[in-house]
Structure formats: structure tokens, C-alpha cells
Chains A and B, each alone.
Chain A
Amino acid sequence: MDRSELIAQIPGLRRYARVLTGDAWAADDLVQDTLERACSKWRLWTAGSNLRAWLFTLMHNQFANQVRSSARQPNTGRLVDMEDVNDELIAIDTGLDMALDLHRCLMRLPQDQRAALLLVSLEDMSYEEVAKITGVPVGTVMSRLSRARARLRELMEGNPNRAAALRTVGSKPVLHRLP
């Protein structure tokens, strides 16, 4: 493994981190942390084996740690009112709006689902590879992927049907509005 092999992996890691964290600075910090982590973990990598998958695994663990520690602080893990989302999601016309919108919707997905969706759609990884990287069975990857796609579609389409259905269920609102 030489320097150029490692450097060749960085753009992909950056892009994945960018969508995973939703923030350019946080993304590059995550990539940096991943590379630093690699320094002390080389004994766990078999030379000649898949460098990319290994780096993505390191990054995944690093990110999971960050999420865990930030989950201990309050005001994270946002709940979303579907009607509010609808208001935000109407009138998608320009490409920029579309990108912003997709970004916003992605960030509404639970972290696990987002990771599965990105590794498959963005990085073209096999379900088995994703299972290895995220440390869960293939079945779990499949269900996360499935939920991520369905949820993203709902969010992107503003899902008026579902919102209407929710409005008619019982007398109490099913989702709670946050202050």
C-alpha cells in the first residue's frame, strides 16, 4: 500500500462523509479522524485486501461514536411534523432547490438508514459489503435500505396521501409538533 492508493480513496470518503454528516466541515473532520485512526489500526488491515471497505468501516465506526456521544446531549434526534415538512417541500423547481431539498430530506432519515442508502446508492457497494462495514446482518441492511427508500420517497413527494390519512386517524394528532 503506498500513499497514492490511500489518497485515491479520499474523494469518495469525503463525499460519503459529506452526505452522512450533512456538513462540509464536519465531513472533512470525519475524514481526517478516519485517517488518524488508520495510523493506529494498521495491524487490523490485511495488506492487499480491500482498502476502501476498510477505510469506510473505520469511518463508519468513528461516525457511530460521534453520534452516540452527541445523543447523550439533549436537543438532538429531531422529531418531524409531517405537515411542516409538507410546507417546506412544496414548489421544487430549480436544480439547486432540488439538491437542497434532497439534502434536507436525507438529514431527516435515521442515521443507520442514511448510511445503508448511501453506501449502496452512492458507493455501489454490495449488500454484503455494507453489512460488513456497518457490522449488522445482511437482512438488517436490506430492511434499512428499504425503509430509507420508502421514507425518502415520502419526504420528497411530500406524501399528501399519508398526511391526509394521518389527519383522519382518531381525534388526537399522531405526530407531535415541536416548539
Chain B
Amino acid sequence: MMVNNVYSITKKEILDNIRNKWIIILTIIFTVLTLLASYAGSVTSSGWQDLSSTINSMILLVQYLISIIALILGYSAIIGEIEIGSMNSLLALPTTRNEILLGKFFGLGTVLSISIFIGFGLAGIIIGLNVGKVNYGEYLFFIAASILMGLVFLSIGFFISTLFNKRSTAMGAAIFTWVFFAIIWLFIIAALVIVSNPSIMDVNASQPPQSINIETPEIFYISEFFNPISSYSELVNLNVGNIDTVSYEDMISGPPDYINSVNMFISMCVWLFSFQFLAFWRFNKKDI
């Protein structure tokens, strides 16, 4: 593995994305959304909220937005270059496919990370200047977790990019992937929870959920490892105080021991590296 080649490709990707204004656009999106979420995100109070409350307002939006943006960046990374023809010249150079893939991943990962960091960071500073109660540690953790989720979906996007022979098909697959993890997954889990614990339906129909003590099915907790959005959401929930997201935890007894920050972090890393590995494997087999 030649570090120089990876570095050159990373640098080129960053330069390319600076010139096509992706970094600027993403940064503005993240800043504006964070400020909006902080200023107008609460139904119970008006004006600026502290950072914990801002995270609370943003978490749902962020997990859907970053995942789709990362998939958009990732799905065309390889197939896009193959389709326009520049991959031919790139692969004819004294480099390997792994170096190309890694360089492109680092480049686009840097673009995404910088956009999230500056976008959220800038908004965090503005919010911090307007409210008294500020916990920058939690906010930095939230930014780091968001970057990690972005990289996971970028990795999935890269695999999709190596999997198909047409950019349009890869785009369709990327959209479906997002719909699956962001929407369909919720229905699947809801169905599994209900099926595995039929009393929930009866209880919900007659009484407010907080007044009862029901056993959450094991499958709900296990499922969090199988969706990077759920892992991210749980990771933030466990580490950022005052979070009041719409989740099942509020109506159930405490989660099992294996639902902890370390396991959620490992889960996301497994997602990241396994799809990166799959992308390497697939790209090395691919005819250009």
C-alpha cells in the first residue's frame, strides 16, 4: 500500500469537492438546520434553547439527513468515475484498486466530516453565545457520533457504488437503502415488537404507556445493532443528557447491559469496516 497514492487521491477528492462547492453547501445546510432547530425547534418554549435541548430537537432530523447525504456522496464515487471514463486513466496508473478506493473514501469522508464539524460547530458557537447553559462536551460528542454515522453510510454508499454497473441503478439502490433503514425498519421493528409481546396493543388502547410496566422484547434491543441509524441514536441517547426522543425506552424498564456506549460504538465501527471491506472485495473483482 503506497501512502503517497492514497494521499494524492484524497487530496484530489477534497479539491474537487471544494471546487464543486459541496463542502460549502453541506456546511450551510448543517448550520442553518441546527440554528433553526435551536431557535424554533421546541413546542414548549420559544427562542434559543441550550445545546442539549437543541440536540434533542435535531437528532431525528440529523440521523435522516446525514445518512442520505453520505449515501449520495458515496454511491457515485466509483461508478460515477467508471461511467464518465476517468477510472480508465486512474487504474492505468501505477496504483492499486485498494489505494484508489481508500483515497476516495478518505477524501469524501473528510469532506463530510469537515462539513458536519464546521456546520454544527458554527451553529453551536452561535447558540452558546445566546444561552447561558452550555455543555460543549456533550455537543462535541454529538458531532463526533454524527460524523461516525456519516462515515458508516458513506461506506455503505461505496459498496453500492462498486456493486452496480450503472450510476442510475446505484442511485436507486442508495435511495432504497436509505428508505429501508430510515422508514421501513421502523415498521419492521414495530411489527416484531407487537408480535413478540401482544399485550402492548391492548395496553396502548386503554391506558397511557407510562402508567404500566411491560417487558420490552429482547428483539427490540438486538435490532439496534442491525441498523446504523438505531445504533447512532442509542449512542447519542446514552451519552447526551436531557434527551427526550420518541423512543420505546420511556415506556419500558431499563435496557439490558449490552446496550451501552461501547457496544453501540463497536456496532457502528463494524458497519463501517464491514462495508468498506465489501467495497474492496467487489471493486477488486470488477471489470472496468
Partners in one complex: no
